[in-house]
Structure 1
Amino acid sequence: MDIHWFESLESTQVYLLEELKASRLSAPVCIGAVSQTQGKGSRGNSWTGMSGNLFISLAIPRSMLPDDLKLESSSIYLAFMMKDFLTSLNSNVWLKWPNDFYIDDKKIGGVITNLMGETLVCGIGLNLVSAPECFAKIDIDVDAYDLTEGYCSLFKNLPPWKQIFSKYQIEFENSRKFFTHNNNEKVALERAVLLEDGSLECDGQRIFSLR
Protein backbone atom coordinates (compact mmCIF):
# COMPACT_ATOMS: atom_id res chain seq x y z
CA MET A 1 0.00 0.00 0.00
CA ASP A 2 1.43 3.38 -1.03
CA ILE A 3 1.80 5.97 1.75
CA HIS A 4 1.61 9.69 0.95
CA TRP A 5 2.94 11.75 3.87
CA PHE A 6 2.41 15.48 4.42
CA GLU A 7 3.66 18.01 6.92
CA SER A 8 0.13 19.36 7.46
CA LEU A 9 -3.37 18.85 6.05
CA GLU A 10 -6.75 20.22 7.04
CA SER A 11 -8.05 16.64 7.09
CA THR A 12 -6.48 13.43 5.79
CA GLN A 13 -9.99 12.02 5.29
CA VAL A 14 -11.27 14.96 3.22
CA TYR A 15 -8.05 15.10 1.18
CA LEU A 16 -8.21 11.39 0.39
CA LEU A 17 -11.90 11.49 -0.58
CA GLU A 18 -11.27 14.45 -2.90
CA GLU A 19 -8.29 12.74 -4.54
CA LEU A 20 -10.24 9.52 -5.05
CA LYS A 21 -13.21 11.36 -6.58
CA ALA A 22 -10.87 13.22 -8.96
CA SER A 23 -9.14 9.91 -9.89
CA ARG A 24 -5.76 11.35 -8.88
CA LEU A 25 -5.36 8.50 -6.38
CA SER A 26 -6.71 4.96 -6.36
CA ALA A 27 -7.09 2.33 -3.66
CA PRO A 28 -5.23 0.86 -1.90
CA VAL A 29 -3.52 3.98 -0.62
CA CYS A 30 -2.83 5.74 2.70
CA ILE A 31 -2.65 9.48 3.41
CA GLY A 32 -0.86 10.68 6.55
CA ALA A 33 0.10 14.02 8.06
CA VAL A 34 2.33 15.24 10.86
CA SER A 35 -0.53 17.53 11.91
CA GLN A 36 -4.07 18.30 10.80
CA THR A 37 -6.20 21.35 11.50
CA GLN A 38 -9.77 20.31 10.68
CA GLY A 39 -9.87 16.56 11.21
CA LYS A 40 -13.14 14.64 11.16
CA GLY A 41 -14.35 12.54 14.08
CA SER A 42 -17.44 10.42 14.58
CA ARG A 43 -20.94 11.97 14.78
CA GLY A 44 -19.68 15.14 13.07
CA ASN A 45 -17.16 15.95 15.80
CA SER A 46 -13.74 17.34 14.96
CA TRP A 47 -10.48 15.49 15.55
CA THR A 48 -7.67 18.02 15.48
CA GLY A 49 -4.38 17.51 17.18
CA MET A 50 -0.85 18.41 17.91
CA SER A 51 2.16 17.65 15.75
CA GLY A 52 3.45 14.11 16.20
CA ASN A 53 0.12 12.41 16.86
CA LEU A 54 -1.27 9.95 14.32
CA PHE A 55 -3.50 11.26 11.54
CA ILE A 56 -4.04 8.82 8.68
CA SER A 57 -6.75 7.82 6.22
CA LEU A 58 -6.74 4.69 4.10
CA ALA A 59 -8.66 3.69 0.98
CA ILE A 60 -9.18 -0.06 0.72
CA PRO A 61 -10.94 -1.78 -2.21
CA ARG A 62 -13.74 -4.08 -1.10
CA SER A 63 -12.15 -6.91 -3.12
CA MET A 64 -9.05 -6.72 -0.91
CA LEU A 65 -10.97 -7.40 2.30
CA PRO A 66 -11.81 -10.90 3.61
CA ASP A 67 -14.81 -12.65 2.07
CA ASP A 68 -16.47 -13.10 5.48
CA LEU A 69 -16.23 -9.40 6.41
CA LYS A 70 -19.54 -7.55 6.11
CA LEU A 71 -19.29 -3.81 5.59
CA GLU A 72 -21.26 -3.36 8.83
CA SER A 73 -18.31 -4.92 10.65
CA SER A 74 -15.54 -2.85 9.05
CA SER A 75 -15.15 -0.26 11.84
CA ILE A 76 -14.46 -2.95 14.41
CA TYR A 77 -12.31 -4.95 11.99
CA LEU A 78 -9.98 -2.10 11.00
CA ALA A 79 -9.84 -0.65 14.51
CA PHE A 80 -9.07 -4.00 16.12
CA MET A 81 -6.25 -4.60 13.62
CA MET A 82 -4.65 -1.37 14.83
CA LYS A 83 -5.33 -2.30 18.45
CA ASP A 84 -3.69 -5.71 17.93
CA PHE A 85 -0.66 -4.11 16.30
CA LEU A 86 -0.28 -1.67 19.20
CA THR A 87 -0.58 -4.58 21.64
CA SER A 88 2.32 -6.27 19.83
CA LEU A 89 4.33 -3.11 20.64
CA ASN A 90 3.51 -3.60 24.36
CA SER A 91 0.68 -1.08 24.65
CA ASN A 92 -2.25 -1.72 27.00
CA VAL A 93 -4.68 -0.05 24.58
CA TRP A 94 -8.17 -1.55 24.26
CA LEU A 95 -11.05 -1.00 21.85
CA LYS A 96 -14.33 0.41 23.15
CA TRP A 97 -17.26 -0.56 20.95
CA PRO A 98 -17.14 0.07 18.11
CA ASN A 99 -14.31 2.41 17.14
CA ASP A 100 -12.64 4.17 20.09
CA PHE A 101 -9.16 3.45 21.43
CA TYR A 102 -8.77 3.68 25.21
CA ILE A 103 -6.05 3.48 27.83
CA ASP A 104 -7.76 2.57 31.11
CA ASP A 105 -10.90 4.77 31.13
CA LYS A 106 -9.68 7.58 28.85
CA LYS A 107 -10.01 7.86 25.09
CA ILE A 108 -6.79 8.17 23.09
CA GLY A 109 -8.15 7.95 19.55
CA GLY A 110 -10.69 6.49 17.19
CA VAL A 111 -11.66 5.28 13.74
CA ILE A 112 -14.25 6.49 11.24
CA THR A 113 -15.24 4.61 8.09
CA ASN A 114 -17.05 5.71 4.95
CA LEU A 115 -18.07 3.76 1.87
CA MET A 116 -17.41 5.28 -1.55
CA GLY A 117 -18.71 2.87 -4.17
CA GLU A 118 -16.66 -0.30 -3.74
CA THR A 119 -13.96 1.47 -1.72
CA LEU A 120 -13.82 1.63 2.06
CA VAL A 121 -12.27 4.84 3.40
CA CYS A 122 -10.99 4.59 6.96
CA GLY A 123 -9.64 7.46 9.07
CA ILE A 124 -7.59 6.78 12.20
CA GLY A 125 -6.50 9.32 14.81
CA LEU A 126 -4.35 8.49 17.85
CA ASN A 127 -2.79 10.64 20.56
CA LEU A 128 0.83 9.51 20.46
CA VAL A 129 2.69 12.42 22.04
CA SER A 130 0.05 14.75 23.51
CA ALA A 131 -3.66 14.89 24.28
CA PRO A 132 -6.34 17.53 24.89
CA GLU A 133 -7.93 17.91 28.31
CA CYS A 134 -10.04 14.88 29.36
CA PHE A 135 -8.25 12.65 26.85
CA ALA A 136 -5.06 10.59 27.21
CA LYS A 137 -2.11 9.59 25.05
CA ILE A 138 -0.77 6.15 24.30
CA ASP A 139 1.39 4.37 26.86
CA ILE A 140 4.31 3.51 24.55
CA ASP A 141 6.88 5.49 22.58
CA VAL A 142 6.04 5.11 18.90
CA ASP A 143 6.63 7.31 15.86
CA ALA A 144 3.58 8.18 13.73
CA TYR A 145 5.18 7.27 10.40
CA ASP A 146 6.65 4.01 11.73
CA LEU A 147 3.23 3.09 13.12
CA THR A 148 1.62 3.87 9.77
CA GLU A 149 4.12 1.70 7.90
CA GLY A 150 3.56 -1.17 10.30
CA TYR A 151 -0.22 -0.92 10.09
CA CYS A 152 -0.24 -0.69 6.29
CA SER A 153 1.98 -3.78 6.05
CA LEU A 154 -0.82 -5.81 7.69
CA PHE A 155 -2.91 -5.43 4.53
CA LYS A 156 -0.61 -7.85 2.70
CA ASN A 157 -2.23 -10.73 4.60
CA LEU A 158 -5.55 -9.80 6.18
CA PRO A 159 -7.09 -12.12 8.79
CA PRO A 160 -10.71 -13.29 8.39
CA TRP A 161 -13.45 -11.43 10.25
CA LYS A 162 -14.15 -14.58 12.29
CA GLN A 163 -10.63 -14.44 13.75
CA ILE A 164 -10.89 -10.75 14.66
CA PHE A 165 -14.39 -11.15 16.09
CA SER A 166 -13.40 -14.08 18.33
CA LYS A 167 -10.81 -11.84 20.00
CA TYR A 168 -13.09 -8.83 20.17
CA GLN A 169 -15.88 -10.78 21.88
CA ILE A 170 -13.61 -11.06 24.92
CA GLU A 171 -12.48 -7.43 24.80
CA PHE A 172 -16.05 -6.16 24.44
CA GLU A 173 -16.62 -6.84 28.14
CA ASN A 174 -14.47 -3.75 28.86
CA SER A 175 -17.09 -1.59 27.13
CA ARG A 176 -19.95 -2.48 29.47
CA LYS A 177 -19.37 0.37 31.91
CA PHE A 178 -19.56 2.90 29.07
CA PHE A 179 -22.17 4.40 26.75
CA THR A 180 -22.47 4.56 23.00
CA HIS A 181 -24.61 6.87 20.87
CA ASN A 182 -27.54 5.98 18.65
CA ASN A 183 -29.37 8.75 16.78
CA ASN A 184 -27.61 11.28 19.05
CA GLU A 185 -28.91 9.55 22.19
CA LYS A 186 -26.76 7.91 24.83
CA VAL A 187 -27.23 4.14 25.14
CA ALA A 188 -25.75 2.21 28.07
CA LEU A 189 -23.73 -0.86 27.08
CA GLU A 190 -24.18 -2.66 30.41
CA ARG A 191 -26.75 -5.16 29.09
CA ALA A 192 -25.90 -5.00 25.38
CA VAL A 193 -25.64 -8.21 23.36
CA LEU A 194 -22.83 -8.28 20.79
CA LEU A 195 -24.03 -9.93 17.57
CA GLU A 196 -21.89 -11.80 15.04
CA ASP A 197 -21.79 -8.91 12.57
CA GLY A 198 -20.45 -6.54 15.24
CA SER A 199 -23.79 -4.81 15.83
CA LEU A 200 -25.49 -4.63 19.25
CA GLU A 201 -28.90 -5.46 20.63
CA CYS A 202 -29.55 -2.85 23.27
CA ASP A 203 -32.91 -2.30 25.01
CA GLY A 204 -34.80 -3.63 22.00
CA GLN A 205 -32.75 -1.61 19.52
CA ARG A 206 -30.21 -2.86 17.01
CA ILE A 207 -27.22 -0.53 16.73
CA PHE A 208 -24.75 -0.97 13.89
CA SER A 209 -21.01 -0.56 14.25
CA LEU A 210 -20.23 1.07 10.90
CA ARG A 211 -19.65 4.79 11.47
Structure 2
Amino acid sequence: MRFVWTQELPSTQVWLSDYIRKNDLESICIVATKEQTNGIGSRANTWDKVSCGLYLSCALPIALLPKDLPRQSSSIYFGQILLELFREFHNDLWLKWPNDFYLQDEKIGGLMTQYIKGFVIFGIGLNIFSEEKSSLLTGKMQNNLSQKDSIESISIEILSQIIKKILHFLSFNIVEFALQKNIDTTLHGITCNAFLQNNMTWYEVFSRYKQSFSKNHRFYTHINDDGITHKVSLQDALLQNDGSIVLHDKILYSLR
Protein backbone atom coordinates (compact mmCIF):
# COMPACT_ATOMS: atom_id res chain seq x y z
CA MET A 1 0.00 0.00 0.00
CA ARG A 2 1.30 3.44 -0.92
CA PHE A 3 0.38 6.71 0.77
CA VAL A 4 1.37 10.06 -0.72
CA TRP A 5 0.85 13.37 1.09
CA THR A 6 1.90 16.64 -0.55
CA GLN A 7 1.59 20.32 0.27
CA GLU A 8 0.05 21.16 -3.11
CA LEU A 9 -1.35 19.38 -6.17
CA PRO A 10 -3.52 20.55 -9.07
CA SER A 11 -5.86 17.55 -8.52
CA THR A 12 -5.48 14.33 -6.53
CA GLN A 13 -7.91 12.57 -8.88
CA VAL A 14 -6.01 13.56 -12.02
CA TRP A 15 -2.65 12.72 -10.42
CA LEU A 16 -3.77 9.24 -9.38
CA SER A 17 -5.58 8.51 -12.66
CA ASP A 18 -2.50 9.48 -14.67
CA TYR A 19 -0.25 7.46 -12.39
CA ILE A 20 -2.31 4.30 -12.90
CA ARG A 21 -2.42 4.76 -16.67
CA LYS A 22 1.37 5.10 -16.85
CA ASN A 23 2.43 2.54 -14.21
CA ASP A 24 1.69 -1.02 -13.16
CA LEU A 25 0.02 -0.47 -9.82
CA GLU A 26 -0.33 -3.66 -7.78
CA SER A 27 -1.99 -2.56 -4.54
CA ILE A 28 -3.89 0.26 -2.87
CA CYS A 29 -2.63 3.78 -3.47
CA ILE A 30 -3.83 6.88 -1.62
CA VAL A 31 -2.86 10.45 -2.47
CA ALA A 32 -3.91 13.52 -0.50
CA THR A 33 -2.87 17.15 -0.52
CA LYS A 34 -3.07 20.14 1.78
CA GLU A 35 -3.95 22.50 -1.07
CA GLN A 36 -5.62 21.60 -4.36
CA THR A 37 -5.26 24.23 -7.07
CA ASN A 38 -7.35 22.75 -9.89
CA GLY A 39 -9.73 20.22 -8.39
CA ILE A 40 -12.46 18.60 -10.45
CA GLY A 41 -16.03 17.89 -9.44
CA SER A 42 -19.18 16.47 -10.93
CA ARG A 43 -19.93 17.11 -14.60
CA ALA A 44 -16.33 18.33 -15.16
CA ASN A 45 -16.87 21.33 -12.86
CA THR A 46 -13.98 22.74 -10.86
CA TRP A 47 -13.83 22.37 -7.07
CA ASP A 48 -13.11 25.73 -5.48
CA LYS A 49 -10.39 26.12 -2.88
CA VAL A 50 -11.28 26.87 0.75
CA SER A 51 -9.23 27.80 3.81
CA CYS A 52 -9.03 24.17 4.88
CA GLY A 53 -10.32 21.20 2.93
CA LEU A 54 -9.96 17.46 2.50
CA TYR A 55 -8.63 16.55 -0.94
CA LEU A 56 -7.98 12.82 -1.24
CA SER A 57 -8.14 10.09 -3.88
CA CYS A 58 -7.80 6.36 -3.33
CA ALA A 59 -7.26 3.54 -5.83
CA LEU A 60 -8.51 0.10 -4.82
CA PRO A 61 -8.15 -3.14 -6.77
CA ILE A 62 -11.56 -4.11 -8.12
CA ALA A 63 -11.07 -7.58 -6.60
CA LEU A 64 -11.51 -6.04 -3.13
CA LEU A 65 -14.99 -4.74 -3.87
CA PRO A 66 -18.10 -6.64 -2.76
CA LYS A 67 -19.45 -8.94 -5.44
CA ASP A 68 -22.93 -7.44 -5.27
CA LEU A 69 -21.81 -3.83 -5.90
CA PRO A 70 -23.44 -2.27 -9.01
CA ARG A 71 -20.56 -0.36 -10.60
CA GLN A 72 -22.85 2.44 -11.70
CA SER A 73 -23.63 3.11 -8.03
CA SER A 74 -20.05 3.09 -6.73
CA SER A 75 -20.29 6.74 -5.67
CA ILE A 76 -23.25 5.94 -3.42
CA TYR A 77 -21.37 2.98 -1.93
CA PHE A 78 -18.17 4.87 -1.10
CA GLY A 79 -20.10 8.02 -0.24
CA GLN A 80 -22.16 6.28 2.43
CA ILE A 81 -19.10 4.60 3.96
CA LEU A 82 -17.22 7.90 4.15
CA LEU A 83 -20.31 9.72 5.40
CA GLU A 84 -20.34 7.47 8.46
CA LEU A 85 -16.73 8.46 9.17
CA PHE A 86 -17.44 12.18 8.66
CA ARG A 87 -20.50 12.11 10.94
CA GLU A 88 -18.19 11.75 13.91
CA PHE A 89 -17.40 15.43 13.33
CA HIS A 90 -20.92 16.67 12.52
CA ASN A 91 -24.05 14.56 12.94
CA ASP A 92 -26.16 16.60 10.50
CA LEU A 93 -24.21 15.45 7.45
CA TRP A 94 -26.02 13.38 4.83
CA LEU A 95 -25.41 12.09 1.31
CA LYS A 96 -27.49 13.67 -1.44
CA TRP A 97 -28.10 11.48 -4.46
CA PRO A 98 -25.90 10.58 -6.07
CA ASN A 99 -22.58 11.87 -4.73
CA ASP A 100 -22.77 15.12 -2.73
CA PHE A 101 -22.12 15.64 0.99
CA TYR A 102 -24.62 18.06 2.51
CA LEU A 103 -24.72 19.74 5.90
CA GLN A 104 -28.45 20.22 6.38
CA ASP A 105 -29.37 22.25 3.24
CA GLU A 106 -25.88 23.24 2.07
CA LYS A 107 -23.40 21.31 -0.05
CA ILE A 108 -19.99 21.04 1.60
CA GLY A 109 -18.38 18.31 -0.46
CA GLY A 110 -18.62 15.65 -3.10
CA LEU A 111 -17.24 12.37 -4.31
CA MET A 112 -16.50 10.89 -7.72
CA THR A 113 -15.47 7.43 -8.90
CA GLN A 114 -13.60 6.12 -11.93
CA TYR A 115 -12.64 2.63 -13.12
CA ILE A 116 -9.17 2.39 -14.69
CA LYS A 117 -7.05 -0.71 -15.45
CA GLY A 118 -8.49 -3.01 -12.80
CA PHE A 119 -8.81 -0.29 -10.16
CA VAL A 120 -11.61 1.86 -8.85
CA ILE A 121 -10.58 5.38 -7.85
CA PHE A 122 -12.74 7.38 -5.48
CA GLY A 123 -11.92 11.03 -4.95
CA ILE A 124 -13.20 13.25 -2.14
CA GLY A 125 -13.44 16.99 -1.79
CA LEU A 126 -14.78 18.22 1.56
CA ASN A 127 -14.85 21.78 2.90
CA ILE A 128 -13.62 21.68 6.49
CA PHE A 129 -13.44 25.43 7.04
CA SER A 130 -14.29 28.40 4.83
CA GLU A 131 -15.34 31.96 5.56
CA GLU A 132 -17.18 32.25 2.23
CA LYS A 133 -18.60 28.76 1.60
CA SER A 134 -20.49 26.18 3.61
CA SER A 135 -18.15 23.88 5.49
CA LEU A 136 -17.90 21.29 8.24
CA LEU A 137 -16.87 23.97 10.76
CA THR A 138 -19.75 26.32 10.23
CA GLY A 139 -22.44 28.25 12.08
CA LYS A 140 -23.21 26.92 15.54
CA MET A 141 -20.10 24.77 15.58
CA GLN A 142 -17.83 27.78 14.99
CA ASN A 143 -19.61 29.82 17.67
CA ASN A 144 -19.04 27.09 20.25
CA LEU A 145 -15.28 27.05 19.81
CA SER A 146 -13.19 28.27 22.73
CA GLN A 147 -11.76 31.75 22.20
CA LYS A 148 -8.24 30.50 22.86
CA ASP A 149 -8.50 28.02 20.02
CA SER A 150 -8.24 29.39 16.52
CA ILE A 151 -10.58 27.95 13.91
CA GLU A 152 -7.57 27.42 11.66
CA SER A 153 -5.76 25.18 14.13
CA ILE A 154 -8.89 23.19 14.91
CA SER A 155 -9.71 22.71 11.23
CA ILE A 156 -6.17 21.41 10.58
CA GLU A 157 -6.55 18.98 13.47
CA ILE A 158 -9.88 17.74 12.06
CA LEU A 159 -8.26 17.31 8.64
CA SER A 160 -5.52 15.21 10.21
CA GLN A 161 -8.05 13.09 12.12
CA ILE A 162 -10.15 12.46 9.01
CA ILE A 163 -7.15 11.33 6.96
CA LYS A 164 -6.03 8.99 9.75
CA LYS A 165 -9.54 7.53 10.01
CA ILE A 166 -9.64 6.83 6.27
CA LEU A 167 -6.19 5.24 6.38
CA HIS A 168 -7.15 3.14 9.40
CA PHE A 169 -10.38 2.07 7.72
CA LEU A 170 -8.34 0.84 4.76
CA SER A 171 -6.03 -1.06 7.16
CA PHE A 172 -3.19 1.37 6.47
CA ASN A 173 -1.41 1.51 9.84
CA ILE A 174 0.77 4.53 9.18
CA VAL A 175 2.74 6.15 11.97
CA GLU A 176 1.98 9.68 13.08
CA PHE A 177 2.66 12.21 10.36
CA ALA A 178 2.89 16.00 10.21
CA LEU A 179 0.70 17.78 7.69
CA GLN A 180 3.42 20.33 6.98
CA LYS A 181 5.81 17.68 5.59
CA ASN A 182 5.57 15.72 2.35
CA ILE A 183 5.23 11.94 2.70
CA ASP A 184 5.61 9.10 0.21
CA THR A 185 5.62 5.76 1.97
CA THR A 186 4.93 2.16 1.01
CA LEU A 187 3.91 -0.54 3.48
CA HIS A 188 4.27 -4.14 2.34
CA GLY A 189 2.31 -7.15 3.48
CA ILE A 190 -0.75 -5.18 4.58
CA THR A 191 -4.07 -6.09 3.00
CA CYS A 192 -7.26 -4.10 2.89
CA ASN A 193 -9.91 -6.10 4.72
CA ALA A 194 -12.42 -3.28 4.95
CA PHE A 195 -14.73 -4.61 2.25
CA LEU A 196 -14.18 -8.35 2.68
CA GLN A 197 -13.67 -9.28 6.33
CA ASN A 198 -15.94 -6.52 7.57
CA ASN A 199 -18.67 -7.66 5.16
CA MET A 200 -19.33 -4.22 3.70
CA THR A 201 -21.67 -5.57 1.06
CA TRP A 202 -23.64 -3.29 -1.24
CA TYR A 203 -26.85 -4.54 0.35
CA GLU A 204 -25.74 -3.57 3.87
CA VAL A 205 -24.32 -0.17 2.92
CA PHE A 206 -27.27 0.67 0.67
CA SER A 207 -29.73 -0.29 3.41
CA ARG A 208 -28.26 2.45 5.57
CA TYR A 209 -28.24 4.95 2.70
CA LYS A 210 -31.95 4.38 2.03
CA GLN A 211 -32.89 5.56 5.52
CA SER A 212 -32.10 9.19 4.64
CA PHE A 213 -33.07 9.22 0.97
CA SER A 214 -36.32 11.13 1.59
CA LYS A 215 -34.21 14.25 2.27
CA ASN A 216 -33.52 14.35 -1.47
CA HIS A 217 -37.12 15.19 -2.31
CA ARG A 218 -36.57 18.89 -1.54
CA PHE A 219 -33.59 19.16 -3.90
CA TYR A 220 -32.57 18.99 -7.54
CA THR A 221 -30.03 17.00 -9.51
CA HIS A 222 -28.49 17.30 -12.96
CA ILE A 223 -29.05 14.65 -15.62
CA ASN A 224 -27.55 14.24 -19.06
CA ASP A 225 -29.97 13.63 -21.90
CA ASP A 226 -28.35 13.16 -25.32
CA GLY A 227 -25.43 15.37 -24.37
CA ILE A 228 -27.59 18.10 -22.86
CA THR A 229 -27.54 18.64 -19.08
CA HIS A 230 -30.87 19.33 -17.38
CA LYS A 231 -31.64 20.35 -13.80
CA VAL A 232 -34.55 18.28 -12.48
CA SER A 233 -36.42 18.11 -9.20
CA LEU A 234 -36.03 14.99 -7.05
CA GLN A 235 -39.46 15.47 -5.48
CA ASP A 236 -40.93 12.39 -7.17
CA ALA A 237 -37.74 10.31 -7.36
CA LEU A 238 -38.14 6.63 -6.49
CA LEU A 239 -34.97 4.91 -5.27
CA GLN A 240 -34.28 1.45 -6.71
CA ASN A 241 -32.29 -1.39 -5.14
CA ASP A 242 -29.36 -0.92 -7.52
CA GLY A 243 -28.95 2.74 -6.53
CA SER A 244 -30.69 4.15 -9.57
CA ILE A 245 -33.78 6.33 -9.36
CA VAL A 246 -36.95 6.35 -11.41
CA LEU A 247 -37.98 9.88 -12.31
CA HIS A 248 -40.66 10.78 -14.84
CA ASP A 249 -40.66 7.18 -16.13
CA LYS A 250 -36.89 7.27 -16.73
CA ILE A 251 -34.26 5.20 -14.93
CA LEU A 252 -31.29 7.36 -13.90
CA TYR A 253 -27.95 6.12 -12.59
CA SER A 254 -25.29 7.86 -10.53
CA LEU A 255 -22.57 7.69 -13.19
CA ARG A 256 -20.13 10.04 -11.43
Deviations along 1:142-176, whole A, 9 cap, x unmatched? 53232122123223322111111111111111111
Partner residue, 1:157? 194
Partner residue, 2:238? 193
Match of 1:169 among 210, 230, 245: 210
Q: Is the 8 A contact 1:20 1:26 kept in 2?
A: no
Moved more, 145-154 or 6-15: 145-154
Partner residue, 2:67? 67
Deviations along 1:103-148, whole A, 9 cap, x unmatched? 110000000111113211111000002164xx41014655323212
Q: Is the 8 A contact 1:27 1:119 kept in 2?
A: no
- Separation in 2, partners of 1:68, 1:153: 24
- Separation in 2, partners of 1:27, 1:180: 35
Q: 2:117 is aligned with what amino acid?
A: G
Partner residue, 2:254? 209
Q: Is the 8 A contact 2:28 2:60 kept in 1?
A: yes
Match of 1:147 among 143, 162, 165: 162
Name the SS of the counterpart of 2:46 in structure 1: coil
What is the Cα-based RMSD across aligned positions, in Å?
Answer: 1.7
- Separation in 2, partners of 1:185, 1:105: 21
- Separation in 2, partners of 1:24, 1:48: 32
Q: 2:36 is aligned with what amino acid?
A: Q
Structure 2 stretches lacking a partner, 5+ long: 142-154, 171-192
- Separation in 2, partners of 1:178, 1:51: 27
Name the SS of the counterpart of 2:110 in structure 1: strand
Name the SS of the counterpart of 1:124 in structure 2: strand
Partner residue, 2:47? 47
Distance 1:165 1:153, change over 3 A: same
Distance 1:9 1:26, change over 3 A: farther
Match of 2:222 among 167, 181, 184: 181
Superposed displacement of residue 44, structure 1 = 0.9
Q: TM-score, normalised by structure 2?
A: 0.77
1:122 paired with 2:122, answer yes
Highest Rg: 1 or 2? Answer: 2
Q: 1:98 is aligned with what amino acid?
A: P
Name the SS of the counterpart of 1:55 in structure 2: strand
Q: 1:147 is aligned with what amino acid?
A: I
Partner residue, 2:152? none
Structure 1 stretches lacking a partner, 5+ long: none
Moved more, 146-155 or 10-19: 146-155
Distance 1:15 1:146, change over 3 A: same
Q: 1:186 is aligned with what amino acid?
A: K
Superposed displacement of residue 72, structure 1 = 1.3
Partner residue, 1:23? 23
Distance 1:131 1:120, change over 3 A: farther
Q: Percentage identity across aligned positions? A: 34
Q: Is the 8 A contact 1:199 1:208 kept in 2?
A: yes
Moved more, 47-56 or 105-114: 47-56
Equivalences, count? 209
Superposed displacement of residue 36, structure 1 = 0.7
